[in-house]
Amino acid sequence: MAKTTSNSSNSVSVVRSEMAPDMPPPIRTDGIVAWLRSNLFNSVSNSILTILSVLMIYYALSALIGYVVADAIWQGTTGTDCRVEGSGMCWPYIFNKLDFFIYGFYPDTEYWRPNIAFAIGAVLLFLLATPRIPGKMIWGFLFLIVYPVVTFFLINGGGFTGLVEVPTEKWGGLMLTLVVAVTGIVASFPLGILLALGRRSKMPMMRSVCVVFIELWRGVPLITVLFMASVMLPLFLPEGTNFDKLVRALVGVTLFTAAYTAEVVRGGLQAVDKGQYEAADALGLNYAQATTLIILPQALKMVIPGIVNNSISLFKDTTLVSIVGLVDILGAVRAASASQGWTAPTIPITGYFFAAAVFWVFTFAMSRYSQYMERQLDTGHKS
């Protein structure tokens, strides 16, 4: 930047005669020592915090590794092998019961069916969730509409499928957890969006219905919802109608989650600039077009963290289905810890440890994915 002023005798006046050339950036001080010094030990208090943190991490990790690996029992066939003073996890128990944890009471000759269903789901989800892969409409349709039906007939069998029928009472373990969580998350999403739009509608009836629905479901704990769905619902329905226990739980979970999703989405809708609605109107887009093409894409992008948060929370809350007699992964762990030949003090803890690890893997993946999506969708917005 050259500062040019008239060259009077005034001493304030400055005229640059040559333009300053571009200079290379200052040399980066790379290297681990430099990094440590500038990030972890750049002040006394920071150094103290660093040392304390390292100590804490060390204690936590060494305890964990000791329990899970070093002090753990790896060999054995019964609970007696794990009756060792001061021992950690009882791995033989996990190996022995793994099938039960994953499939519950599903017959072991038919494991291939949920396996295939899971594989199809994983592939479709991958195709749908990777931004670079085109054809989102097709994958979305397959995953959201076709896949649930296919999965149901594949896992349930019977009827025209020619497969052995495995009624939902036999579904269990991680498989059941995933069925409940995926159904809840996926089915509640469109419903939640509709509720959020309804709540902001200009039609008073529509608005009231949505408000009442949302507030009703949000005001009740999930455990109550599930209990009501399984115990109370049959009382209201005509004699002889027999809803499947799992279906009842799924409906309860879906409606419950939809109410939360609706509130999150509403926040996003409110955060969309009013000018966006006006621009869409001024261009002659109708309500449906403006909503789906302009408003929702922006609103949903803003609420990804909230939606994922809800999903994580629902994923963990699926454990409550045990209240209505469904055996999810936690239920399976609990049931197995009382099984014959596997009575040892470390058995229950081992089971819970395993369940916790499984939950953590799934929820951690969800949260990482949401961070990735946030970055992907960031088009440097704000006009």
Partner 1 sequence: MAKNAKAQSQDKSPNNGAAKMEVSKTEVAVEITNMAKWYGEFNVLKDINFKVMKGERIVIAGPSGSGKSTLIRCINRLEEHQQGHIVVNGIELTNDLKKIDEVRREVGMVFQHFNLFPHLTILQNLTLAPIWVRKTPKAEAEEVAMHYLERVKIPEQALKYPGQLSGGQQQRVAIARSLCMNPEIMLFDEPTSALDPEMIKEVLDVMVSLAEEGMTMLCVTHEMGFARKVANRVMFMDEGQIIEQNEPEEFFSNPKHERTKLFLSQILH
d(CA 240, CA 363): 40
Site string for partner 1, 230-269 (x = CB under 8 A): ----------------------------------------
Of the candidates 245, 262, 271, which has an alpha carbon nearest to the alpha carbon of residue 198? 262
Q: How far is the CB of 382 from partner 1 (least distance, A)?
A: 6
State which residue, 142 or 377, has the beta carbon closest to partner 1.
377
149-157, 175-183, 233-241, 273-281 -> range binding partner 1 (CB under 8 A): 273-281
Which runs of E-coded beta strand occur in the chain?
172, 327-328
Structure tokens at 40: 């972890």
d(CA 214, CA 228): 17
Q: How far is the CB of 188 from partner 1 (least distance, A)?
A: 24
| Number of neighbouring beta carbons within 10 Å of residue 309 | 16
Q: How far is the CB of 138 from partner 1 (least distance, A)?
A: 19
State which residue, 220 or 283, has the beta carbon closest to partner 1.
283
* Residue 275 binds partner 1, judged by CB under 8 A: yes
344 neighbors 80 (Cβ within 8 angstroms) = yes
The interface with partner 1 within residues 278-337 (CB under 8 A) comprises 278-279, 281-286, 289, 293-294, 297-298, 301
State which residue, 82 or 303, has the beta carbon closest to partner 1.
303
Q: Is the dihedral of CA 372, 288, 142, 261 positive or negative?
A: positive
Which phi and psi (to 5°) does residue 382 adopt? Answer: 65, 110
Helix residue spans in 142-221 (DSSP H): 147-156, 173-199, 204-218
206 neighbors 198 (Cβ within 8 angstroms) = yes
Q: How far is the CB of 358 from partner 1 (least distance, A)?
A: 36
State which residue, 32 or 203, has the beta carbon closest to partner 1.
203
Tell me the site size for partner 1, rule CB under 8 A.
23
State which residue, 190 or 297, has the beta carbon closest to partner 1.
297
Exactly one of 50, 276, 343, 367 binds partner 1 (CB under 8 A); that residue is 276
Structure tokens at 269: 């809708």
State which residue, 33 or 283, has the beta carbon closest to partner 1.
283
Site string for partner 1, 64-103 (x = CB under 8 A): ----------------------------------------
State which residue, 220 or 293, has the beta carbon closest to partner 1.
293
Buried residues in 104-120 as b, exposed as e (16+ CB within 10 A): bbbeeebeebbeebbeb
Q: How far is the CB of 201 from partner 1 (least distance, A)?
A: 15
Q: Please, how many CA atoms are within 13 Å of residue 233, restricted to the half-sphere of its CB?
A: 18
- Which residues on neighbouring strands pair with residue 328, listed in sequence order? 173
Q: How far is the CB of 280 from partner 1 (least distance, A)?
A: 8
The interface with partner 1 within residues 339-378 (CB under 8 A) comprises 377
d(CA 198, CA 291): 12
d(CA 207, CA 214): 11
Place of tokens 């939606």: 307
State which residue, 242 or 379, has the beta carbon closest to partner 1.
379
151-159, 235-243, 272-280, 366-374 -> range binding partner 1 (CB under 8 A): 272-280
Q: Could you give the dihedral angle defined by the CA atoms of residues 243, 245, 248 and 253, in that order, rounded to the nearest 10 degrees?
A: -170
State which residue, 85 or 378, has the beta carbon closest to partner 1.
378
- Residue ranges in contact with partner 1 by CB under 8 A: 273, 275-276, 278-279, 281-286, 289, 293-294, 297-298, 301, 377, 379-383
